[in-house]
Structure 1
């Protein structure tokens, strides 16, 4: 079994890393400032589209202007999505008679999909075809595009280049990245048995003579962007464990590949845009090493557990372990097994991936979190050896470190603060379905998933209530937008600084610096979240033993 697991994991890493490196080079060439960009196929069509939309790439934007357009477009989609969910019962494309969502559930759902979280407090079957296509599927394209464009602006800023034009980047990411990959792999999912139809539910007669209703819909198009965009919300309540979403080992492997593709490509995009491919690869290696450690430990927890409880029997321990590790490492949130029922030590890996949020992390956000740790490492290491901290020739001073420190504090404050609140108020306690440490783990997982914009859950939690919809909604909102805005502000600050020449500056493209970066990530993450993990999943493991 271990040999099969190692071969399967190695193939996944090799295939995805190769594709990510190629994608990184492609995006790195396409999204550099216009004066550095070569001619390419599709440029004439792109020019026509942007002229029709009255978008001018040559319009210079500051980081503040870029961020303002980002927030404006987010707000627009939030309002439209909320209205459509609230009134889906009276709108067209509702052959199955889905009813209007309650105000708090619509609030939670639209924030969830707009923030790339896709945490679901409703059964996937509760939405109309219109809601699935024009709200959820649309937001699953829009949300990862938003984070991807912010990451591109961040990279340009720290390189001292123009930030870019938000709407131009937004259109180009969808046209050149998300749509082509989605169309290609969407066809493959259909070929491997994932349904794609607008027909109403099928009513069939079972072998016992009973009548059974089988929900159908545009599942393949939903599924491909769900995985590629690190979204994760399920068309069905059981998500990737449903045979229509994930019929076979082939589709399971496609899911794994798509979840990793964009997050893995960001370090390569950075290397291509900065013309520092070695540095980009070393940053990637830190993320990869953390991923391998977590994935191997995840499989070990399932392999050592004689009970198969919680695993998806169609995919076995290997398929379940890989899916759980990848979906939390890439902050996708899709599941092919019930995480609530997996061994308690598995919960440490699942939550640890989300708490660090740099083990590739979500589209754009994961790489920006890694760069936060890079700047912390540079600052600490440079001061220890008596050098001025610099990143790419720009001095790191008080303003930049304050912004980085605030970014670092957002996640633990939200996760631990909301977890503490839910443990002391009655609506929070009423949702716990397991006594003792596992109950703590249920709450901790819910808010960790929300803040990390992952979306998966310990599904035993009774979270379809106003308290959970509102608190998780705010956790997703602040966990998404505050770090992105702070890091782009930091990049904007570096962009305005003159380059300094310092032959003795700390090098960030060496194995030594890579080791220091790995140590900082592990130490900071452990100091922040280890205590709460000890009273949750680790305490549960000790009690079982």
Structure 2
């Protein structure tokens, strides 16, 4: 890792932590109703509750809260599915795009509701402006608000004593959307427009190219089938290309909430590598900050809610430390170059004429440092947006983002989901520490007993089960293997990455895997739904159980959970439980691919 790359990473981390502090103060005040903006908007907010038939003053037990969250997202899925299937008959479709297939609509509806934004289609060629805005844009807000609501409920579970309730789901969803996500998205969208991100409702533009491109195209019959000569060779016809169609659309507004909500779905197929989505190095930095700033701030919000800010800082320190190590590993792996090219004695060193390292699949306007930093940020943050193609990363460079997802998306993670995932690991860590010394484990003054540990086990085991079973089925089934572009270890890595991304609600992909089939659409859709909501329910159950407990005063046997020792214990638990589950699968994919390439180079 070069000095310049290290300075860029250090600047990014410093800016992230500085922004997280004031934002955490604002979010905490909004969610407890004490922010000025909440008081100013009291009348319209209360009017909205009355219109919806919601009693904002009545709090919910964890079961009611869970039912509200599940029902809200189930209805969102049905609405989005219907919108996608009907887009050919709806307005806001200047290109006259037809409705995608039923399995694509099924996969996409679940994807955006589950905060995954997995895409098996090219956005600019498939989805209308109305679908992008009313469907995807709305769910980008609501899925992020769901994560914030759940983590606030869990935080109240730690903070309250002998309580039967953990808050009101409808109030939490409303405030997270209206007072946190919407204002930040407006400001960020304006910032993107200032950098050149487009925002319009124009039809796609046809323009003359600067030069004529000539190529031989297959000759077709009247039915659209390629023609062959008497020897069976394909017939071609000389073709000249003098025009190009350039996609337009309301991109900046979609881009802002896609990043802030750790959603990641691109308006264009190339996602944040497209110059209309991510034009400049400054917009690239803004996108990375937007991905991580709310997850980082929520750690400090947690400390405020439980009235012990040291606890929030300890969680944030653990996440930041793991993030820095991942960035260093990722950039170092990419700057070292492709081992397969090294085997061919290709010079990959940096010179005045070449960037050096592995530049395959990367934009020259970002380079290896910002591409590597983005790859780590997007998989640490459960965002899934990409400014470089992950399928073109070196074997070890691809291992880093894959492992970040497999850890459970807890290194910052998604909006809300990263923190509640890390708190589950914190409960597991104190349980393990309690077993070591033979004492009943406790965390933040609450005893951790059998019910909490059963729920923790569910949260920790659900996503590995979905990833490994899904990868196994896809590897064994002919329909699964048919989508693999690169046979061998890299092909297995493509499948493993896809299910790691889907079950952990990330959405990025090794693009060499063709997933636009009914097999992958259905299987990955199931992984996304249960990866999101089968973990939310036990998290809310933990919140309800902890809220009902009395707080125990700290004593001589209490494990301090705010110092460096606990940070190390927490990261060790994440690595042991999260990483070791996947070691055999990783050994079959990126590890053996790297070793094979390294062996050939010698």
TM-score range, shorter chain: over 0.9
- Corresponding position of 2:277: 245
Residues 1:303 and 2:335 aligned together: yes
**Cα deviation, residue 47, structure 1:** 3.5
Residues 1:111 and 2:110 aligned together: yes
Residues 1:511 and 2:564 aligned together: yes
Contact 2:29 2:35 in 1 (8 A): no
Residues 1:281 and 2:313 aligned together: yes
Residues 1:235 and 2:264 aligned together: no
- Corresponding position of 2:128: 128
Given candidates 526, 537, 540, the residue that maps to 2:590 is 537
Deviates further, 1-10 or 129-138: 1-10
2-structure distance, mates of 1:26, 1:461:
42
2-structure distance, mates of 1:39, 1:483:
30
Q: What secondary structure does 2:41 align onto? A: helix
1-structure distance, mates of 2:173, 2:95:
34
2-structure distance, mates of 1:362, 1:191:
27
TM-score when scaled to structure 1?
0.97
| Count, aligned residues | 541
Aligned runs of 1:372-383 on 2, under 5 Å?
372-383=424-435
Given candidates 184, 189, 192, the residue that maps to 1:181 is 184
Q: What secondary structure does 2:36 align onto? A: coil
- Corresponding position of 2:438: 386
Deviates further, 528-537 or 502-511: 502-511
**Cα deviation, residue 525, structure 1:** 2.1
Contact 1:158 1:492 in 2 (8 A): no
2-structure distance, mates of 1:321, 1:225:
22
1-structure distance, mates of 2:46, 2:519:
43
**Cα deviation, residue 311, structure 1:** 1.9
1-structure distance, mates of 2:197, 2:550:
54
Contact 1:20 1:262 in 2 (8 A): yes
1-structure distance, mates of 2:245, 2:35:
53
**Cα deviation, residue 76, structure 1:** 1.2
- Corresponding position of 2:47: 51
Given candidates 316, 319, 334, the residue that maps to 2:385 is 334
- Corresponding position of 1:12: 12
- Corresponding position of 2:470: 418
Aligned runs of 1:76-475 on 2, under 5 Å?
76-125=75-124, 126-160=126-160, 162-208=165-211, 210-305=242-337, 306=348, 307-356=358-407, 357-475=409-527
Q: What secondary structure does 1:275 align onto? A: coil
Q: What secondary structure does 2:210 align onto? A: coil
* Structure with greater Cα Rg: 2
Q: What secondary structure does 1:207 align onto? A: strand
Q: After superposition, what is the alpha-carbon deviation per residue over 1:288-310, rounded to whole angstroms, capped at 9, x for unaligned?
A: 11100001100001110034212
Unaligned stretches of 5+ residues in structure 1? none
2-structure distance, mates of 1:401, 1:284:
23
**Cα deviation, residue 314, structure 1:** 1.8
TM-score when scaled to structure 2?
0.88
Higher helix share: 1
Deviates further, 339-348 or 383-392: 383-392
Q: After superposition, what is the alpha-carbon deviation per residue over 1:10-32, rounded to whole angstroms, capped at 9, x for unaligned?
A: 11111111111211122123323
Contact 1:87 1:101 in 2 (8 A): no
**Cα deviation, residue 502, structure 1:** 5.0
Unaligned stretches of 5+ residues in structure 2? 213-241, 338-347, 349-357
Deviates further, 492-501 or 172-181: 492-501
2-structure distance, mates of 1:155, 1:277:
12
**Cα deviation, residue 46, structure 1:** 2.8
1-structure distance, mates of 2:178, 2:3:
41
Q: After superposition, what is the alpha-carbon deviation per residue over 1:103-150, rounded to whole angstroms, capped at 9, x for unaligned?
A: 000000010001000000011111111111111111111111111111
2-structure distance, mates of 1:120, 1:39:
37
Q: What secondary structure does 1:208 align onto? A: strand
**Cα deviation, residue 392, structure 1:** 2.0
2-structure distance, mates of 1:89, 1:508:
55
Q: What secondary structure does 2:423 align onto? A: helix
Pair 39,254 (structure 1): closer, same or farther in 2 beyond 3 Å: closer
- Corresponding position of 2:231: none
Contact 2:380 2:404 in 1 (8 A): yes
Q: What secondary structure does 2:267 align onto? A: coil
1-structure distance, mates of 2:332, 2:412:
21
Q: What secondary structure does 1:206 align onto? A: strand
**Cα deviation, residue 273, structure 1:** 0.9
2-structure distance, mates of 1:128, 1:483:
32
Q: What secondary structure does 1:130 align onto? A: helix
Contact 1:29 1:273 in 2 (8 A): no
